[in-house]
Copies of this chain bind each other. A is one copy, B any other.
């Protein structure tokens, strides 16, 4: 069986990452697994937490002490601070899913994404953005859950993030949900045919070619 693709989705806060991921998981439940991140940030209203990865869990909410203990124990693929909180990707679950052939989606911010690309060159990095910055601002305002200060900070973060967009494999414009989700699905599906994911096939063909003797 072919190993799954480690897919990293980043994007401006308000770009609609969560919606697109939910769409992908509901349309292709047997193809994707969602990696659940651990974080030390405060729980938003309506967010669910969990001890093990399972449907409907948004984050593992950890104390700062617990998070730092797990860093020392090397239990994260990557971790980073973002808006003054820790975010990290627990290792075990991701590797298990990839080995089962599932494409694992990690929703992580840019610093963590670039760490992953460095450690795992076969990871697929997708950066999601609204069609323009005004749309982004309106979506953040429209959420209604954020204070003016938080919106301001997120827009500042967006400026930083935009400076690293060109380090991603793809820039995915989220205009309409269905089209965006379908395009992301195509990106991940085709990623299986990248040379970097075809080492088994390449080795097999090399071996076969060498059985022909031409002296």
Q: Does A167 contact B (CB under 8 A)?
A: yes
Distance between Cα atoms of A168 and B195 in the complex (Å): 6
Query: What chain B residues lie within 8 Å of A193 (beta carbons)?
Result: 170-173, 183, 187
- C-alpha gap A209/B134 in the complex (Å): 8
Given known contacts A196-B166, A202-B162, A209 and B133 CB-to-CB distance under 8 angstroms: yes
CA distance A38 to B198 in the complex (A): 32
Instruction: Give the oligomeric copy count.
Output: 2
A206 & B167 in contact (Cβ 8 Å cutoff): no
Q: Please give the residue numbers on chain A whose beta carbons come within 8 Å of chain B beta carbons, in ascending order.
A: 127, 129, 132-134, 136-137, 152, 155-156, 158-159, 162-163, 165-173, 183, 186-187, 190, 193-196, 198-199, 201-202, 204-206, 208-212, 214
Can you give 26 A-B contacts (C-beta < 8 A)?
A129-B205, A132-B204, A132-B208, A133-B208, A133-B209, A133-B211, A137-B212, A155-B212, A159-B206, A159-B210, A162-B206, A162-B209, A163-B206, A165-B198, A165-B205, A166-B198, A166-B199, A169-B194, A171-B193, A171-B195, A171-B198, A171-B201, A171-B202, A173-B193, A183-B193, A186-B186
